A = this chain, B = another copy of it.
Amino acid sequence: MKNIPIILMGCGGVGRQLLQHIVSCRTLHANKGIHLRVVGVCDSKMFLVTPDVLSTEFDDAFLMDICKTKFDRLSLEQCIDSGKCEASSYAESKRKLADIAARIGYVLVDCSASSETIEVITQTLNLGCCAVLANKKPLTCSMEEFDKLFLQPRRIRHESTVGAGLPIITSLNRITSSGDEVASIIGSLSGTLGYVMSEVENGKPFSEVVKAAKDLGYTEPDPRDDLSGMDVARKGLILARLLGQRIDMNTIKIESLYPNNMGPSMMTLEDFLANGLPLLDNDIQEKVKKASLNEKVLRYVCILQNSMCMIGIHEVPKDSALGRLKGSDNVVEIYSRCYEKPLVIQGAGAGNDTTAAGVLADIIDLQDQFP
């Protein structure tokens, strides 16, 4: 039986779902000769480690306790059980991880949303261990820090940073390693903005569509977090860097769907929804009409082409995979020598279940790094 020790950072939605997946897949993985052994978990405050990382692990009951605690939005402090774990503060995690790496190889799984995890991820990789990321932030830091993460590219996986569990990064890595030259990528990488753009196409006012999306729980609590395009830009930057573009967040042209004077520092959320948002309706409606005259529709996309990365509204042919997109699916079109007509990957690109499934597939894909 191959034994893969796991240390999880971030036990919110995705991390919690991952623990549940690990527990429910025990038989499946045993049949493949794999045992996933969770030896540590941490949130922003606490780091819990099994007393002896070489021979013990958190049992399934304890993992389910952790899930319940985090579901109740409590700290891991609640889970401290002297028989089952040793607790230290999150601040000590760097030293603790070094201790563990000296004893066993492990996979550090980052399901947090923090930009601070990059330090322990880099340390983990430098110490010969592996990392799996659902967290986009460490991959959208400076180019210098990004390079450090990929010094040993076979020991890091991050499928769930773009399109949740959709096999976008896996596919892109296969294409580039086969020497096929990617000419361009165009993708709708935000389920929220995909929904918004396909609804305004049907004639509904932008402001009403955004408010409906908020009510459906499709947007962040403040929809401007989606409308700014920053989340799409992070995904675009990750794809761009995989294609070899040496760029930073500040090099990317990002079109925000609201003007600066409606930003969170200028306008409250209530004011934005009631008075700001409706002012944007006409402009969007004009663009929808103009596109329609050319048999095109508007999509909020990421475009990678000619060493450029652009994020914003774009007219796409009505009968392309992007143009036919409905609802909150993600879609990516990859154009290359082999795919003059694009390789299209489409499906649900968000959700804890799907994202955690992508993380778990990444962990399993690292199995050859373990004896």
Interface residues of A (CB under 8 A from B): 21, 24-25, 28-29, 32, 153-154, 159, 165-167, 170-171, 174-175, 177-180, 319, 321, 324, 327, 329, 337-348, 351, 353-354, 357-358, 360-361, 364-365, 367-369
- A166 and B343 form a contact (CB under 8 A): yes
Q: Which of chain B's residues have a CB closer than 8 A to the CB of A24? A: 179
Pairs of residues from A and B, 5 with the lowest C-beta to C-beta distance, nearest first: A343-B347, A368-B368, A178-B357, A25-B179, A174-B361
Tell which of B319, B344, B354 touches A338, judged by Cβ atoms closer than 8 Å: B354
Nearest-neighbor residue (CB-CB) of A339 within chain B: B347
Nearest-neighbor residue (CB-CB) of A362 within chain B: B174
- B341 and A348 form a contact (CB under 8 A): yes
On whether A337 and B353 interact (CB within 8 A), knowing A28-B179, A177-B32, A321-B346, the answer reads yes
- A346 and B347 form a contact (CB under 8 A): no
- A361 and B154 form a contact (CB under 8 A): no
Q: For the complex, what is the distance from the CA of A102 to the CA of B268, rounded to whole Å?
A: 72
What is the CB-to-nearest-CB distance from A351 to chain B, in angstroms, rounded to a whole number?
8
What is the CB-to-nearest-CB distance from A346 to chain B, in angstroms, rounded to a whole number?
4
Tell which of B25, B343, B357 touches A346, judged by Cβ atoms closer than 8 Å: B343
On whether A171 and B167 interact (CB within 8 A), knowing A154-B367, A327-B341, A344-B344, the answer reads yes
Q: Which of chain B's residues have a CB closer than 8 A to the CB of A353? A: 337-338
On whether A153 and B32 interact (CB within 8 A), knowing A179-B24, A180-B357, A361-B177, the answer reads yes
Q: Which of chain B's residues have a CB closer than 8 A to the CB of A178? A: 21, 25, 165, 357-358, 360-361, 364
Nearest-neighbor residue (CB-CB) of A165 within chain B: B338
Please list 21 pairs of residues, one from A and one from B, whose beta carbons are closer than 8 Å in the complex, sorted by A's number: A24-B179, A25-B178, A28-B177, A28-B179, A29-B177, A159-B174, A165-B174, A165-B178, A165-B338, A166-B343, A175-B357, A177-B360, A178-B364, A179-B360, A180-B357, A321-B346, A338-B348, A338-B353, A340-B348, A341-B347, A343-B345
- B345 and A345 form a contact (CB under 8 A): yes
Q: For the complex, what is the distance from the CA of A304 to the CA of B155, rounded to whole Å?
A: 34
Q: For the complex, what is the distance from the CA of A60 to the CA of B354, rounded to whole Å?
A: 45
Say how many copies of this protein the assembly contains.
2
Nearest-neighbor residue (CB-CB) of A319 within chain B: B324
Nearest-neighbor residue (CB-CB) of A159 within chain B: B174
What is the CB-to-nearest-CB distance from A218 to chain B, in angstroms, rounded to a whole number?
15
- A346 and B344 form a contact (CB under 8 A): yes
Q: For the complex, what is the distance from the CA of A178 to the CA of B167, rounded to whole Å?
A: 12
Tell which of B167, B329, B354 touches A170, judged by Cβ atoms closer than 8 Å: B167
What is the CB-to-nearest-CB distance from A217 to chain B, in angstroms, rounded to a whole number?
17
Tell which of B175, B339, B364 touches A177, judged by Cβ atoms closer than 8 Å: B364
- B347 and A347 form a contact (CB under 8 A): no
On whether A175 and B347 interact (CB within 8 A), knowing A153-B32, A368-B154, the answer reads no
Q: Which of chain B's residues have a CB closer than 8 A to the CB of A177? A: 28-29, 32, 360-361, 364-365
Q: Which of chain B's residues have a CB closer than 8 A to the CB of A159? A: 174
Q: For the complex, what is the distance from the CA of A179 to the CA of B342, rounded to whole Å?
A: 29
Q: For the complex, what is the distance from the CA of A368 to the CA of B177, rounded to whole Å?
A: 14
